[in-house]
Chains A and B, each alone.
Chain A
Amino acid sequence: MSTNDIVMSIRDVSKRFGEGCEACREDTSILNGNICPDCGTVHAVRDISFDLHEGEILGIVGESGSGKSTLMKMMYFDQENTSGDYYLRSYENGAENVFDVSSQKKREIRNEQLGMVYQNPLHGLKINFSSMTNIAEKLIAGGSRNVGEMTARGDMFLEKVNIPLSRKFEAPKNFSGGMQQRVQIAKALSNYPPILLLDEVTTGLDLSVQADVLELIKEIQREMGVSMIVVSHDLAIIRMLCDRTMVLLNGEVIESGITDQILEDPQHEYTQQLVYSIL
């Protein structure tokens, strides 16, 4: 019906850790959880397909080891896929499978068309360099060369995420966890990517700081129209942020739907267990 607003398409994407044997490659029903009982290969992500629409926030939930982060890492090219296709509207208008493009092109896509915020700020920031340098690094990687423009952009985004500009030349290692996450968000957004990937970004933050980060994410989505994928194991956060939600178990999507439908009328046994566990 409405397909022209799809910004990302993932088709039959899988990731195996290990070569796999004939048995587990042919038939994944023999797996014990996501591990092959014969050869020990871990099938971390199995045949996942979904679309992300413009301005939408898509939630991914599931227990540890369900494949949420592996999927995110593949989308950001931190990890290679074993099979499947990945299309971005911002790259050749979605006509080319970006898993198949050169490493150089992948780097360009990463720097210009995607933003990633990791659970651990150490993965997303150079923690000993200043916040401004962190943002400049992303901007330079995206092709910027004008120092004045880069500084102005850095100021703008640091202000947006409420980092006092008096501290812009301070290294994030001196910042609190919440502030580090906000610098990561500023860095991820600095090239105006159409898609932002957020991996457990509020885990480990206290409730008040968590509310700050959530507010910020919603505001960015409203004001910049960025599409987002939010990985979280916290269903309250998923309820607050996400339009649609996918539930992963052992590397597979077992259920997906509008968020309130997943939370109020869960169909799969595992989703029911998850929802009934909300405090």
Chain B
Amino acid sequence: MLTVENFGKSFTTHHLNQTRKAVSGISFNVEKGEFLGIVGKSGSGKSTVLKSIYGTYKPNEGQILYDSERFGTVNLHEIPDHDLIRLRKTEIGYVSQFLKVMPRTTSFELVVLSLLEMGVDRVTAEVTAEETLRHFDLPEALWHNYPNTFSGGEKLRLNIACAVVKAPRLLLLDEPTASLDQASKLKVRESISKLKDSGTTLIGIFHDLEFMEGLCDKVYDMSARAVKETV
């Protein structure tokens, strides 16, 4: 499903005349329906790897091959921008700890919009959005509020809801549970588990290793530059 080959990324800051290598020599592959966890200390480049798969960062070395439904096998960094945008709308999801949304759009509408951009009709989208917000325990009183009035945990749950509702083929999770309480974490875990059962391929970074236990099929260790299978 996804093969990362000898991937490397460095950042050049022109005004400092400086180039900093963030990661190099990363190789792994993820089969369809598998969950790969990425572990490593802060600054080891975990997020850089995820953002490069999603196309937010431009890699300098190696390639990232993805078996897409629409275009067949593509190198995510060589396909035209427009095709990558299409894959993001229909196949590849990304969740981070930060919620960036249109101003003055209600939480309910945000979940609906995630579905509309996939081509789902509005009536179905609204029904699904209700179910999803309910699943993530977002109080009904907040459905028609703007997310900038939400607590950190509520924002995160909404963020995850917007990504999960699309049931993407490949979902990238960049520490989405970082500041959630135990109950919310369990909800997220339940959804991820359900997605996995339905065949979604997942790659995730989680601060808390317990969360990953029993959920990941294998773990990529940034310091060892190697994958180990888990039970």
Chain A positions within 8 Å of B, measured between CB atoms, are: 1-2, 51, 53, 56, 211, 214-215, 218, 222, 239-240, 243-244, 256-258, 260-261, 264-265, 267-269, 272-273
Q: Chain B 90-123 against A: per-residue CB contact (8 Å), 1 yes, 0 no?
A: 0000000000101111000000010010000000
Q: Would you call B11 and A258 a contact (CB within 8 A)?
A: no
A205 to chain B, nearest CB (A): 13
Number of A-B contacts (CB under 8 A): 61
B15 within 8 A of A: yes
Q: Would you call B51 and A264 a contact (CB within 8 A)?
A: yes
Q: Would you call A272 and B85 a contact (CB within 8 A)?
A: no
How far, in angstroms, from A222 to B114 measured CA to CA in the complex? 12
Q: Would you call A215 and B102 a contact (CB within 8 A)?
A: yes
> Nearest residue in A to B9 (C-beta to C-beta)?
A265
Chain B positions within 8 Å of A, measured between CB atoms, are: 11-15, 51, 55-58, 71, 79-86, 100, 102-105, 113, 116
Q: Knowing A2-B82, A244-B82, A260-B56 touch, does A265 contact B11 (C-beta < 8 A)?
A: yes
Q: Would you call A243 and B102 a contact (CB within 8 A)?
A: no
Q: Knowing A264-B57, A273-B15 touch, does A1 contact B51 (C-beta < 8 A)?
A: no
How far, in angstroms, from A214 to B12 measured CA to CA in the complex? 33
A217 to chain B, nearest CB (A): 10
> Nearest residue in A to B14 (C-beta to C-beta)?
A269
Q: Would you call A1 and B79 a contact (CB within 8 A)?
A: yes
6 nearest A-B pairs in the assembled complex, by CB-CB distance = A269-B14, A265-B57, A211-B103, A260-B56, A211-B104, A258-B81
> Nearest residue in B to A236 (C-beta to C-beta)?
B103
Q: Would you call B103 and A240 a contact (CB within 8 A)?
A: yes
Q: Would you call B103 and A244 a contact (CB within 8 A)?
A: no
Complex interface: chain A residues within 8 A of B102 (CB): 214-215, 218, 240
Q: Would you call A272 and B13 a contact (CB within 8 A)?
A: yes
Q: Would you call A272 and B14 a contact (CB within 8 A)?
A: yes
Q: In the complex, which of the residues A2, A264, A265 contacts B83, with contact meaning CB atoms closer than 8 Å?
A: A2
How far, in angstroms, from A221 to B84 measured CA to CA in the complex? 19
A245 to chain B, nearest CB (A): 10
How far, in angstroms, from A268 to B14 measured CA to CA in the complex? 8
Q: Would you call B57 and A243 a contact (CB within 8 A)?
A: no
> Nearest residue in A to B59 (C-beta to C-beta)?
A265
A188 to chain B, nearest CB (A): 21
Q: Knowing A258-B81, A260-B56 touch, does A272 contact B51 (C-beta < 8 A)?
A: no
How far, in angstroms, from A2 to B51 measured CA to CA in the complex? 24
A167 to chain B, nearest CB (A): 23
Complex interface: chain B residues within 8 A of A215 (CB): 102-105
How far, in angstroms, from A12 to B104 measured CA to CA in the complex? 39
20 residue pairs bridging A and B, Cβ less than 8 Å apart: A1-B71, A2-B82, A2-B83, A51-B82, A211-B104, A215-B102, A244-B81, A244-B82, A244-B85, A257-B81, A258-B84, A261-B56, A261-B57, A261-B58, A264-B56, A265-B51, A265-B57, A267-B58, A268-B14, A272-B13
B92 to chain A, nearest CB (A): 12
Q: Would you call B15 and A272 a contact (CB within 8 A)?
A: yes
Q: Would you call A239 and B100 a contact (CB within 8 A)?
A: yes
Q: Knowing A2-B82, A258-B85, A272-B15 touch, does A265 contact B58 (C-beta < 8 A)?
A: yes
B30 to chain A, nearest CB (A): 22
B182 to chain A, nearest CB (A): 32
Q: Would you call A222 and B82 a contact (CB within 8 A)?
A: no
> Nearest residue in B to A239 (C-beta to C-beta)?
B100
A175 to chain B, nearest CB (A): 21
How far, in angstroms, from A159 to B85 measured CA to CA in the complex? 32
> Nearest residue in A to B89 (C-beta to C-beta)?
A243
> Nearest residue in B to A52 (C-beta to C-beta)?
B82
> Nearest residue in B to A258 (C-beta to C-beta)?
B81
Complex interface: chain B residues within 8 A of A265 (CB): 11, 51, 56-58
Complex interface: chain B residues within 8 A of A2 (CB): 80, 82-83, 86
Q: In the complex, which of the residues B15, B85, B100 contacts A269, with contact meaning CB atoms closer than 8 Å?
A: B15
